[in-house]
Copies of this chain bind each other. A is one copy, B any other.
């Protein structure tokens, strides 16, 4: 069901002048931003070279995986030395499309939307929220410097002045409708903060931001760790251990 690889990537080893489109696994692409983030920091800190070993240690990834991932895009290292921090940072900027700025609209200017609008992390990385939309736009018509307009204007505004990415921050009940409207009006990617699995056509990118899902993935482990700690032996454990209430798992 997942689309795993895409065939529109560049050639890893351009030979003979003909581009060989190579399938680049989606998991690889999703790791590149973490590589880029670390390299940016290393560059700021003044490092000039770094090995896959060092990168791997800092990112909890095997050195082999880092080398393999990078090899999909080219040969950026030097045997015996490692990678130039400056060079590799720049290559990743190019690969990830971070040499331009990206325009985003925010739909939903309630509690969550306001928190997103106030987030300081987007702008320095090249992402601009150019407008926000709500069913009940504040009469001020403005939110931290971003114009807030009635969502009824969404289609007309974006037709006149397109954006690349839509951010969805409306309640679950309205989220799919908002996604549909954003897609119809031409955004190519959606950052979804609403607690739904958004349905989109094949070539629209979607990423979900949901801290509750992340927490629930962790509580599974916390509970089961606690259970296994209290179960004296495997044979005396209850038949349906999942159903057993867990004691508090934390003690200093």
Contacts and interface: CB of A to CB of B under 8 A. Distances in A.
Interface of A: 1-2, 6, 8-11, 14, 17-19, 21, 29-30, 32-34, 36-38, 41, 56, 58-62, 65, 73-74, 91, 94-100, 102, 111-112, 115-116, 118-122, 125, 127, 158-159, 162-165, 172, 185-189, 191, 195, 197, 199, 203, 205, 207, 209, 211-225, 227-228, 234-235, 237, 239-243, 245-246, 248-252
A133 to B, nearest CB: 16
A112 B118 CA distance: 8
A220 B97 contact: yes
A222 B111 contact: no
Given A188-B222, A239-B14, A252-B185, A216 B100 contact: no
A8 B227 contact: yes
A75 to B, nearest CB: 12
A194 to B, nearest CB: 10
A240 B10 contact: yes
Contacts of A164: 222, 248-250
A252 B158 contact: yes
Contacts of A98: 216, 219
A228 B162 CA distance: 20
Given A19-B239, A94-B242, 6 more contacts: A29-B217, A33-B213, A60-B197, A164-B248, A186-B252, A207-B217
